[in-house]
Amino acid sequence: MIETKRLVIRRFSPDDYVDLYEYLSEPAVYAFEPGKPVSIEEAKAMALERSQGSDFLAVELKDKKKMIGHLYFKQAEPLWLLTWELGYIFNPKYQRNGYGSEAAAALTAHGFEKHNIHRIMARCNPENAASWKLLERVGFKREGSFRKFGFVHTDEHGAPIWNDAYEYSLLRD
């Protein structure tokens, strides 16, 4: 568990499904993310699965004990490169309050302190200015831009809708 002034970053609990559903059922959340809005049953299964793993962490408002988003933090392959990937999704009702920056900064600092990490990287769509500005606020540097790097959605025929990506990183030193 990591605590900041306003947040608690902790392992998921199966009981987080209600708060998870609150934002993962919103179509706007998937503008730059894969997937589609989830049902309450899917949110329940996701919360249970995430509570049994360590790749996803819940971000909770300390004073309200309400989960407002989650972080993804996992070591990338090959392991000997000591690189971890950071990702995040926050409830739209709680965006633009600095919670994402606060959580990302705390998790990356904790990661460097507690693990043998050389580099933490993150990718985002160039059209997602909120995401790349968050990364820059917490000290990540843009390393490159990739054309048609991946896709999160398909067209009506099932063909990929390719998106560009920025890659950012934060180094231990």
Domains of the chain: 2-171 (3.40.630.30)
What distance in Å separates the CA atoms of residue 16 and residue 4, rounded to the nearest whole number? 20
Where do we find the tokens 């990540």? 140
- Residue-wise pLDDT for 76-108, tens only, equals 999 999 999 999 999 999 999 999 999 999 999
CB atoms within 10 A of CB 147: 8
- pTM value > 0.85: yes
| pLDDT greater than 90 at residue 18 | yes
Q: Can you give the pLDDT at residue 99?
A: 98
The per-residue DSSP string of 46-108 comes to: HHHHHHT-SSEEEEEETTTTEEEEEEEEEEPSSGGG-EEEEEEEE-GGGTTSSHHHHHHHHHH
Q: Can you give the pLDDT at residue 173?
A: 84
Q: Identity (one letter) of the amino acid at 38?
A: V
Confidence of residue 9 (pLDDT cuts 50, 70, 90): very high
Q: What is the Cα Rg of the chain in Å?
A: 16
